[in-house]
Amino acid sequence: MRIDVRWLARVAAVIVLTTTPLAAADVAGTSTITAVTVFSRGAEVTRTALLKIEQGEHVIVFKDLPAQAIESSIRIEGRSTGRLDIGSVDTRRVEIPRLDPAVSKSERRRLEEAIEKLQDERAVIAADVEAAEAQKRFVEGLVTLPSRPTAKPGEKAEKGEEWGDIFALIGSRLAEAEKARLTAGLRVRELDHRITDLERALSDLAPVEDARTEVRVNVTAAAALEANLLLRYQVPAASWQSLYDARLMTGARNVAPSLVLIRRAAVQQRSGEDWRDVALTLSTARPTNGASAPSLDTTTIDFVPEVPLPRPVASAPSPAAQATRERRSGLDASSSPAEAGAADKKQDEEFAIGEQQASADISAFQARFDIPGRTTILATSEVKRVLIDQATIEPTLVVRTVPRLRPQAYLYAKLVAPKTSAYLPGAIALFRDGTFVGMGKLPLLAPGQEQEIGFGADDSVRVRYATVEDKRGETGLISSQQTDTRAFRISVKNLHERAIAISVQDNIPTSRQQDIKVELTGKTPPTRRDVDDKRGVLAWEALVQPDEERQIEFGFRVSWPAGKRVIYGR
């Protein structure tokens, strides 16, 4: 029995093809940005991709992620109409042409042909310009025609030229030549502009590539199915800051004051991709600041080492001793840079620890704000302002004055922060009775925390300040003392239609020496001392009725040993 070798080879090839698994097919994935969560630094972008996948193993390739996408943050999840298992997710940086090469080539050819046509037209018109200029030069040459010689006595004079007709002809021809030259010049200029615009458009079609992040998702589908995949990743070049409007209505005799606190956000990004019609969420989380507190090293204390006594000055060494010293100094010099480097490294490490401790003062408040509707934020760093929420608060009005520095009253609104979420630090625009009065800064406010916001000068409260006593003297018989006595009078009058709380602040000196004694004097004792933990700062607080005037009389007496001088300072 003869066996056909060629037949065996064909059978073996069929067996190999049927038993060897087919290579995974690439599926082009196109995704759209549907949601973005912006942090104080950075943002998380969510892309959605709808795909139809056949049965078997496939590699879904996404090339529309920006180059700034943090590779370690890329996550793939979603739902499908059948069983779909995700194997591995691979990422790499690639260069993607901005335009379709075929479309770009066709458009470039069209622009090149248009430029050539305009250049030909310009050459024709430029020739017309040169002809008009030549005609102008010829006509101007007629003015320089040689004059005829004067007839001699007895000879008959020839008939002269009609110079009036000649001048009229020259003038009309010059006008026509100049008009033709100007018209052709304007046409040349117009063509130059059009050629420049087309050349600029042609340069924009140059084959420029954008850096992108390519994501390759290896999947296995049990059957043909439809999948809705979500791609999430973070980008660093994005941020948002808090902005506030505080609108105070001071009220009237029978109308209580009210305060509307409006919270906004200023969002900007340069992630390399535009966020168009996305669901925007603002978060107070800080994913880039780490999740653990810094660690402290041991701090020691020791005596300062005693400074060794200086060596006695020796006489000039012998040549042999000098050579030995130079060899040793050379060895010492060779080892000193390493020791110095180790010391510098230690100092740098200690300094770095100090920096980490200083930057670890971060608020623990976290909140998420879902902005209603859809928002578009372009990747141009332009600030997008969106409204977060607003709250109506019943404030307590307080008038504060520091007449020693300025005899002017200032209106403050004392409020309690709403208990919804923390208010992050930010700039605040101040409005009083519908009028913009200035800008301020709102600190971090925890829910339920009290805060005072200033709303500018209050001209309905009159403040006066006067010094009623200022003298120095000496007391004592056995041990004399120097004294400095001062007294002041402050008057505050309420011109509002309703009672208002008024706080007057002043200060007295504080002693840094045991021998310097400071005594508070006067008829009106302060309501509070050491206001805001500042030594010597006093406050007088009272509810002043309409048209009521209050007077504060106080002062201080300083005494110290005679023969010494004192100085007032901070």
pLDDT of residue 304: 67
List, as one string, the DSSP characters of 101-169. HHHHHHHHHHHHHHHHHHHHHHHHHHHHHHHHHHHHHHHHHHTTPPPPPPPPTTSPPPPPP-HHHHHHH
Gap between the Cα atoms of 469 and 302, Å rounded: 54
pLDDT of residue 392: 92
Whether the CB-CB separation of 79 and 228 falls below 8 Å is answered with yes
Sorted by where each begins, the domain ranges of the chain are 21-83+220-236, 101-145+166-204, 240-285+367-399+413-457, 461-561
Sheet-wide strand order for 528-529: 450-457, 406-416, 396-402, 500-507, 537-544, 528-529
Gap between the Cα atoms of 427 and 424, Å rounded: 10
Structure tokens at 65: 């992620």
Residues 6 or more apart from 52 whose CB is under 8 A from it?
Answer: 224, 225, 226, 227
- The DSSP symbol for 224 reads S
Mean pLDDT, consecutive 10-residue stretches, the chain (570 aa), reads 46 37 68 93 94 91 90 91 89 73 71 83 79 70 55 54 60 72 82 84 68 90 92 93 93 89 92 92 77 75 66 52 49 44 45 26 60 90 89 93 94 90 90 93 90 93 95 73 93 93 94 91 94 93 94 94 85
pLDDT of residue 430: 95
pTM value > 0.75: no
Q: What is the CATH number of domain 101-145+166-204?
A: 1.20.58
pLDDT of residue 536: 93
pLDDT of residue 508: 93
Closest by Cα among 177, 190, 178 to 125: 190
Q: What are phi and psi of 83, to 5 degrees?
A: -75, 125
Following CA atoms 503, 508, 513, 518 in sequence, which dihedral angle do they give, to the nearest 10 degrees? -110
Whether the CB-CB separation of 3 and 248 falls below 8 Å is answered with no
Q: What are phi and psi of 155, to 5 degrees?
A: -95, 150
Residues 6 or more apart from 250 whose CB is under 8 A from it?
Answer: 257, 397, 411, 432, 433
Task: List, in sequence order, the alpha helices (H) in 385-424.
Answer: none
Would you say the C-alpha torsion 84, 86, 90, 93 has a positive or negative sign? positive
Q: What are phi and psi of 84, to 5 degrees?
A: -135, 120
**pLDDT tens figures, 222-236:** 999 999 999 999 999
Total residue count of the chain as it appears in this document: 570
pLDDT of residue 61: 92
